[in-house]
Structure 1
Amino acid sequence: MAEVPRSPRPAGVTARRYLPPLALCGFLLLLALVFSVSYAVGSAAGPVAPGMHGTGGSGGSGGSGDGTGGSMEDMPGMGHGSGG
Structure 2
Amino acid sequence: MDESRRTPSRAARSVPPPVICGFLLLLAVVFGVSYAAGSVAGPVAPGMHGGDSGTGPAGTGDGGGMVHGHGGAE
Q: Match for 2:20: what amino acid?
A: L
Taking the aligned partners of 1:39 and 1:19, their CA distance within structure 2 comes to 29
Please report how far the alpha carbon of residue 49 of structure 1 lies from its aligned counterpart in structure 2 after TM superposition: 1.0
Query: 1:4-52: per-residue Cα shift (whole Å, max 9, x none)?
Result: xxx8x7xxx4221111111000000000000000000000110111110
Which structure shows the higher helix fraction? Answer: 2
Q: What does residue 55 of structure 2 align with?
A: 63
Q: State whether structure 2 residue 16 is matched by structure 1 residue 16.
A: no
Question: What is the RMSD computed on CA atoms of the aligned residues?
Answer: 2.7
Query: Could you tell me the TM-score, scaled by structure 1's length?
Result: 0.57
Percent identity between the aligned chains? 54
Please report how far the alpha carbon of residue 67 of structure 1 lies from its aligned counterpart in structure 2 after TM superposition: 2.2
Larger Cα Rg: Structure 1 or Structure 2? 1
Query: Could you tell me the TM-score, scaled by structure 2's length?
Result: 0.64
Q: Match for 1:26: what amino acid?
A: G
Please report how far the alpha carbon of residue 68 of structure 1 lies from its aligned counterpart in structure 2 after TM superposition: 5.4
Q: What does residue 44 of structure 2 align with?
A: 48
Matched residue pairs, number?
61
Q: Match for 2:15: what amino acid?
A: L
Pairing partner for 1:35 from 24, 31, 36 = 31
Please report how far the alpha carbon of residue 71 of structure 1 lies from its aligned counterpart in structure 2 after TM superposition: 2.0
Q: Match for 1:18: what amino acid?
A: S
